[in-house]
Amino acid sequence: MGSEPHAAGTPEKPIDNAEHESLRLAARERILRLRNMGNRGLWAIALFLTVSIAALNQFSFLPALPEKLKDLLGAPPPTIMISGLLILYSFSSLVLILARMIGDSISHGGFYHVAYLTGFYFFYNLAGSLEDNFWAVFAAGATILSLEGYHLWTWCSRQINSEIEEFNRLDGK
Amino acid sequence: MIKSLAGKAIIPVAITVTGFVIVCCILLYSVMKVDMTDTAVRQATVLAGTVVKSTRYAMLQSDDENLRDIIANISSQQGVEHVRIFNKKGLIEFSSDQTEIKHYVDKKAAGCIGCHSGPTPASKLGEMQQARQFVNGKGREVIAITAPIYNEPDCFNASCHFHPSGQKVLGTLDIGLSRQPLQQSLTTMRGRMLIFTVMILILTVGGVSALLGRTILEPIRMIKNFCDALSRGDFKQTLPLLEGQMEELASSVRRVATKLEKAEMSLQEAEDRLASSERQVTGPNAASPSNDQASSRVEDPRTENRHGE
């Protein structure tokens, strides 16, 4: 009598264990991926700081634009127009990030924001007014990337918590 | 991860509002700085024109004494850093600084190199280009304007004069004004904007915290205290009337509490009845075996009622 259930359970046990282990591994991988993703915001901020340090020196390490290319590009846009666009861009970015926070949708870490902000630095530099407007672009970047990074970090932390719960459930805790 | 509800609500709002206000303030400051500098340049250009017109008659009469007196009076005005008139070759004829008279203008000086950096100096300049901003030898920031003194029929037709009619420009007036009043205004404006930003931050964070505390955190605390009392078996606690969605949550909790209280009471009644029936059963037969006690425990309370009847 006592040996019967043992005999019946023996062939099933290794399969359960393997499934269990694969689920544990998958959960661990997801946790690692989420942890890496949560740090993306910090990478974006670090990249933006590097670009800002270059902009603080008026991109002096870059060679000057050839005259032909300058003629081809034409006159730079007026500073007031670039400033207006910066306000519009900051406002819409912040609204979009807040909307993503409300909708609990994933954020991409803000690398494309770094590209936009670098564009603003370049346009101000071409217009010859980067010195006056550097801190405006820097403040816009710091705000947008902080909010984006905060959203990504909290989103990833929540996902990690639910993965840890799943992990504990698999361990029978 | 931030766990408090207040932190979760306040941090994004504080970052968004403060950051956006700072961006707007910096851009506004930058635009106003440009506007104020342009206004200062226009005022300096008007002043240069006024000086040229004031000295015209003295020049026409070749009255050097009068000209020197006019320049000395203008340069004694507060905020005027220098006034000088030099001829086409750059020889300074009149100046507020006596030491530079009859000397050539240093084309490599901060105020001159802007036009004289190339092999041929810039001859035509717009209103804004006529203005140079530099730090002078005394370490003061200066806005300087150069105004050409043109040859006019009155000049070349006068019997006393020697300028040929073909010479278009007779000389140049160079007047430098201190940037200190402009800098002071900009510093005051910057300070005011900083105060404005800090006030917005305090109002935003304070407002959100107060509203959050009043409408969410305090009702949640009351509901939590009520639930804690229920878990301790204290049904005497009451949950006050709340507002909006918090009242919906509170009424759900109240319903659960009422049902829990009823269940608790019926359980208590059942236990009491069970105990009394046990006493009835065990009372007359005190020596009954323990099996009887066990059987009475599993007995349905409703049976006890029947027993009671």
Chain A's closest residue to B30, CA to CA, is: A132
- Chain A CB contacts of B24 under 8 Å are 87
Stretch A146-162: mean pLDDT: 89
DSSP state of B100: G
Tell me whether B294 touches chain A (CB under 8 Å).
Answer: no
Separation CA B2–CA B78 (nearest Å): 59
Contact A94 B30 (CB under 8 A): no
Tell me whether B194 touches chain A (CB under 8 Å).
Answer: no
Separation CA B272–CA B65 (nearest Å): 124
- Chain A CB contacts of B32 under 8 Å are none
- Chain A CB contacts of B27 under 8 Å are 83, 86-87, 133, 136
Stretch B18-28: mean pLDDT: 90
Separation CA B204–CA B36 (nearest Å): 31
- Chain B CB contacts of A154 under 8 Å are 1-2, 8
Residue A158 and residue A37 in contact, taking contact as beta carbons nearer than 8 Å: no
pLDDT in tens, A95-152: 999 998 888 888 777 889 999 999 999 999 988 889 889 999 999 999 999 999 988 9
Q: What is the pLDDT of residue B92?
A: 86
- Beta strand ranges found along B57-179 (DSSP E): 80-87, 92-95, 131-135, 141-150, 169-178
Stretch B214-226: mean pLDDT: 90
Stretch B103-112: mean pLDDT: 71
Q: What is the pLDDT of residue B120?
A: 67
Q: How many CB atoms lie within 10 A of CB B240?
A: 9
Contact B23 A136 (CB under 8 A): yes
Per DSSP bridges, beta strands B80-87 and B169-178 are antiparallel
Query: Does residue B281 register a pLDDT over 90?
Result: no
CA angle A145-A149-A152, nearest 5°?
Answer: 140
* Domains, chain B, with CATH or none: 5-109+125-185 (3.30.450.20)
Tokens representing residue A58 in the block:
């008026």
Alpha helices in A39-128 (DSSP H): 40-56, 67-73, 79-103, 111-127
Contact A79 B22 (CB under 8 A): no
Can you give B31-43 as a three-state secondary structure string?
Answer: HHHHHHHHHHHHH
Residue B208, helix vs strand vs coil: helix
Separation CA A34–CA A64 (nearest Å): 42
Task: Give the pLDDT band (50/70/90) at residue B304.
Answer: very low
Task: Give the pLDDT band (50/70/90) at residue B10.
Answer: confident
Q: Which of residues 14-43 of B touch A (CB under 8 A)?
A: 15-16, 18-20, 22-24, 26-27, 30-31, 33-34
Stretch A3-14: mean pLDDT: 45
Quote ipTM for the complex: 0.77
Query: Does residue A2 register a pLDDT over 50?
Result: no
Task: Give the pLDDT band (50/70/90) at residue A36.
Answer: confident
Shortest alpha-carbon distance between residue A34 and chain B (Å): 14
Phi-psi region at B102: left, alpha or beta (left = phi > 0; alpha = psi -120 to 50): left
Separation CA B304–CA B61 (nearest Å): 135
**What pTM, to 2 d.p., does this model score?**
0.71
Residue matched to tokens 């000209």: B67
